[in-house]
Chains A and B, each alone.
Chain A
Amino acid sequence: MFNKTLISCVALASFCFSAMAEEIPVTGNVASKCVVTQDTAGVFGNPDASTLSTRPQDGGIHPVVRYDVVQASYYMARITAPDSFSESPNLTDTVIWNNIVSVDQVSDATMSAYDTNKVAYENITEIDLTVAGSTWFKIQSTADYGYDKALPGGTYQATVTAECIAI
């Protein structure tokens, strides 16, 4: 008697679980969004006593930032290249910065037009993200200290700000 009841319970339970397992809703929603990804943190090379540069031929590494947009024409990328060090020894002379922001890699060939359509002013570059997908931007940055003046020894750090602004 007990065994029959137990078997019935197990059978009923397994039926219920199998019935529950039959319908698993999978829902999704595609919404406009922008994801900013730090692809490569740059490194300053020191090709001569007065210069710090992210150019590979100067021993540096360009910082690279990736923008992923799910839908086209919803966001603008604004990249602010450094115009000062966020961390450095005490500098008594001026530092002249030269920055170039350019497209590095694209997931869609039409994104290469971003290089011609970008708007650059001061140390800021703005690009309308008119194609859905991923775009990698590299920031080439060179800092020259004084008039051929040697940079004091110490730690130097600069910050690139990568913004994604809804339009």
Chain B
Amino acid sequence: MRYIMLLIMLGICGQTAFAHEFLPTYPRLQLSYVPGVLHTEMELFNKREDIQYYEFSVWTEDWKRVPFATTDKIQQIGYLEKKRIDIYIREKDKHRAVYICSKSKRLKADETRTTIASRICSKIKD
């Protein structure tokens, strides 16, 4: 009965889903083709029709920014588009870098309402 309820609820919500998905949960840093630079690959799935841009960032355990490189720190990702994001971190920063985050970026709009910015952070595994 519980699962039927869950399916019904998910079915109702699925009709107006504006979701943000960022994987993997626990990425691993691997050697890249550049000496002294580590690499990991993330995947973002944009199911938010109202969002076209996502910002990527790398953080320490206590939420200080860690320098990193990617194609663009803010990338355009269309509705229902899945995109692979390459993240490059210096080997000397590998013990500081803990979180890789993606955050939705909204365009300025003329509406009297509250909006929801979503951010998902994955945790780097040693």
Which residues on A sit within 8 Å (CB–CB) of B120? 34, 36, 163-165
In this complex, the member of B17, B22, B23, B118 whose beta carbon has the largest number of chain A beta carbons within 10 angstroms is: B118
Contact of B114 among A41, A75, A105, A108 (CB under 8 A): A41
- Please measure, in the bound complex, the distance between the C-alpha atom of A133 and the C-alpha atom of B109, giving whole angstroms: 33
CB-based contact A166/B6 at 8 Å: no
CB-based contact A159/B115 at 8 Å: yes
The 4 A-B residue pairs with the shortest CB-CB distance in the complex, in nearest-first order:
A42-B114, A166-B123, A37-B19, A36-B118
Residue A100 lies at the interface, judged by CB distance under 8 Å to chain B: no
CB-based contact B119/A163 at 8 Å: yes
Q: Which single residue of chain B is at the shortest CB-CB distance from A69?
A: B25
Which residues on A sit within 8 Å (CB–CB) of B118? 36, 38, 65, 161-164
In this complex, the member of A38, A42, A74, A155 whose beta carbon has the largest number of chain B beta carbons within 10 angstroms is: A38
- By a beta-carbon cutoff of 8 Å, the part of chain A in contact with chain B is 31-39, 41-44, 54, 61, 63, 65-66, 68, 74-75, 82, 86-87, 105, 107-108, 133-134, 139, 141, 155-167
- Please measure, in the bound complex, the distance between the C-alpha atom of A133 and the C-alpha atom of B5, giving whole angstroms: 12
Contact of A159 among B6, B9, B48, B114 (CB under 8 A): B114
Which residues on B sit within 8 Å (CB–CB) of A34? 21-22, 25, 120
CB-based contact A166/B116 at 8 Å: no
